Amino acid sequence: MFSKIIRKSALWLCSGLAVTLAAQAQAGVVLNTTRVIYSGADKEVSLQVHNTGASEILAQSWIESDPNGAGLSIPPFAITPALARMPGDARQLIRIMYSGEGLPGDRESVLWLSVQEIPQTARDNELQIAIRQRIKLFYRPQGLIGDPLKAAEALQWQVRDGQIEVVNTSHYHVSMIKLEGRQNGRVVIQEGSRMLAPGERRRLPLASGGRGSVDLAFISINDFGAQEPYRATVTADRTTQANKADRSP
């Protein structure tokens, strides 16, 4: 009898928690972009934050050079307002300004912009969760050579020592998802996501040991957040560049 009461109580607590979490998940901050591109020719860039909930919140914004805590301790950017009070269904413009020094002038830099909802004080028996949105902030100095929208096409691929070697020869970062390589229909390499920095050289192990050509496919994320599929046949005798693939199945 006692065990039945315990089980019923546990079910009631789990159900109540699920309802509370579901209610909280419906609220939160939403950004109007998936990435921010800051051109060195601009004095500032901006984005919009939307409080999709019905209750008033505080929206806190900050910039990090590395989400893992490495790199620059204080990024050379100012963000305003860093803390904004937002009523329900309100929108707030966030402005970002670069100090003018502290980042390389010969290549693109990437940082991270975080916007976090700070909810009001929770009432009794209510669980509240602070929701944070984090997106990439790309800073591009003036005078960089090349088209950032073609950076994925400029990647150089080659099979080398049982691995696929890829070199980013551009001045821009290349963000990739769903990277996959096949030999005779068998998957020999597979990665969910990867970002290559300007000038970066990376080797990716092949399950087959690297013999023969590899049919490579990946999706690149461009400046607008759109997904662009690429394909290439990579061999050991020469470097290869990928071409845009047909979007149709």
Strands (E), 1-131: 29-31, 35-39, 45-51, 57-64, 77-80, 83-86, 91-98, 109-118
157 and 116, same domain (yes or no): no
Rounded to a whole number of angstroms, the CA Rg of the chain reads 23
37 and 135, same domain (yes or no): yes
Tell me: the pLDDT tens digits for 146-201?
Answer: 999 999 999 999 999 889 999 999 999 999 999 999 998 999 999 999 999 999 99
Mean predicted lDDT score pLDDT of the chain: 86
123 and 177, same domain (yes or no): no
Q: Does 7 reside within a domain?
A: no
Residue scoring higher pLDDT (242 or 23) = 242
Q: Does 248 reside within a domain?
A: no
49 and 74, same domain (yes or no): yes
34 and 100, same domain (yes or no): yes
Closest to 212 measured CA to CA, from 232, 189, 184: 184
Of 140, 168, 185, which residue constitutes the final position of a domain? 140
CA 185 to chain CA mean position, Å: 30
Tell me: the pLDDT tens digits for 68-95?
Answer: 655 556 899 999 999 999 999 999 999 9
Res 4 pLDDT > 60:
no
Confidence of residue 16 (pLDDT cuts 50, 70, 90): very low
Which H/E stretch holds residue 69?
none
- Other beta carbons less than 10 A from residue 94's beta carbon: 21
Residue ranges making up the domain that contains 237:
148-243
58 and 126, same domain (yes or no): yes
Residue 230, both tokens: 């690429």
Q: What is the DSSP letter of 37?
A: E
For residues 229 and 138, give the distance between their C-alpha atoms in angstroms, rounded to a whole number. Answer: 22
92 and 130, same domain (yes or no): yes
Of 122, 140, 158, which residue constitutes the final position of a domain? 140
Strands (E), the chain: 29-31, 35-39, 45-51, 57-64, 77-80, 83-86, 91-98, 109-118, 132-140, 156-160, 163-167, 174-183, 186-196, 201-205, 214-221, 227-234, 243-244
Tell me: the pLDDT tens digits for 28-74?
Answer: 799 999 999 999 999 999 999 999 988 899 999 999 987 665 555 68
Contact between residue 155 and residue 168 where contact means Cβ atoms under 8 Å apart: yes
Q: Does 21 reside within a domain?
A: no
Q: Give pLDDT, residue 124.
A: 63
Contact between residue 217 and residue 230 where contact means Cβ atoms under 8 Å apart: yes
Q: Does 2 reside within a domain?
A: no
118 and 165, same domain (yes or no): no
